[in-house]
Amino acid sequence: MRFACFRRLLLPAALLLGALILPGCRVFHHAATAVIVHKPVAPAKPRLVDLTKVQPNEAGVVPILEYHDLVKGTKVTGYQYPADAFRRDIAWLYAHNYRPVSLSDYVNAKIDCPPGTSPVILTFDDALRGQFSYTPDGKVDPDCAVGILEAFHAQHADWPLKGTFFVLTDGDPKLPPAFYQKASSQAKMQALVRDGFEIGNHTVHHKLGIRHWPDSQVQAEFAGAVANIHKLLPGYNVQTLALPFGVYPRNRKLVISGQSGGQAYHNICALLAGAGPAPSPMAAEFKPYRLPRIIPGNEKFALRYWMDYLQANKEEKYISDGDPNTFTVSVAEQGSLQTSRLKKAHLFLRTYSGTQIVSDGTTPPAAPIAAAKK
């Protein structure tokens, strides 16, 4: 029930954002995918949670933010956003108890943030200059996204370096090299992974027409992007996909997996272009291959709008119990969860009412553990 209002808002939000984003996006967009790997390990005993201080709601929504280029100045366009506004976004999120988690951890329901905080996922599309650039003396530009995040992390150790870069490499000669500095493309990709960020698939050519393409061409597009990333990051597990413009191929199964030219791909999720907060990874509404995102800015259905909405409707927000192996919800929310996913993820389910534990989750789900995939 508590998502009813949220759901009513999503469709108009998606329509409006389509109108807002598409004209401004020089290189088009969207979707991310990855592989869930369940290792046969015994779950740790659930950590205690003080319900008099924290009322976890791990059935709540999670904002996935969608940034493009960061620029000097103050003008916000469909894909350009002031660096100073990005700084303010991060500071606001931190002050309001959001903490970044990786996209793959969210999809795999392994959200690890301190008790009482809420996860937020940062994504950056197109490998643009304002996301990661070096100054002439070889230092990280303090006004690019990576520079801003590193500086913030240095001041706030409990804001980890997490985020996903959906890159375009120079697989298409009409597109610029990754992060617009060819000599340092590889060094940047390596630095991102080393520092804790993820690299995701954003296709080779970034074309809107993918919806009309034959299966072989679609697979070449997704597999080719993986092969191009591997030229810079040999062996890297590319497991998330952002579909340019949020446009799907006619054969939607190809978003999940496929192969071309000897290169296989498998995505655990696919990201859309804007719309609103994403469901909890255990919510009945959770669809990993249709994850909505939120664009920055002050317009209706953009970041400011949704952050204000969640501040005014805190009962809809994901609030962590501080334990990535335990899923804690009030008894009222228990019925809105995908219990089969809980079992597959081998998570404890803990429920409470008021300040009293109803089920403490000490009996883990008796589901078979999925075989590890390579």
Binding residues for Zn ion, per CB under 5 A?
A: 27, 29, 125-126, 244
- In the complex, the smallest distance separating the C-beta of residue 29 from Zn ion, rounded to whole angstroms, is 4
Chain position whose Cβ is nearest to Zn ion: 29
CB-nearer residue toward Zn ion: 127 or 149: 127
Question: Two tokens at 346?
Answer: 């081998």
CA 104/CA 210 separation, integer angstroms: 25
- Residue nearer to Zn ion on the CB measure, 61 or 128: 128
User: Do 31 and 243 meet the contact criterion of CB atoms below 8 Å apart?
Assistant: yes
Closest distance to Zn ion from the beta carbon of 64 (Å): 15
Q: Between residues 152 and 213, which has the closer beta carbon with respect to Zn ion?
A: 213
DSSP annotation of 239: -
Minimum Å gap between C-beta 188 and Zn ion is 17
191 CB contacts (<8 Å, ≥6 apart)? 132, 146
Q: Which is nearer to Zn ion, 29 or 344 (CB)?
A: 29
CA nearest to 178, candidates 123, 242, 129, 236 = 129
- In angstroms, give the least distance from the CB of 169 to Zn ion: 13
**What are residue 7's phi and psi, to 5 degrees?**
-65, -40
d(CA 349, CA 325): 9
Between 65 and 283, CB nearer to Zn ion: 65
User: CB-wise, 27 or 49, nearer to Zn ion?
Assistant: 27
**Count of H-run helices and E-run strands, the chain:** 8, 15
H helix or E strand, kind and range, residue 134? none
Sign of CA dihedral 60, 67, 167, 189: negative
Residue 274 CA to residue 293 CA, distance in Å, equals 4
**Least CB distance from residue 61 to Zn ion, whole Å?**
24
Least separation in angstroms between residue 276's CB and Zn ion is: 19
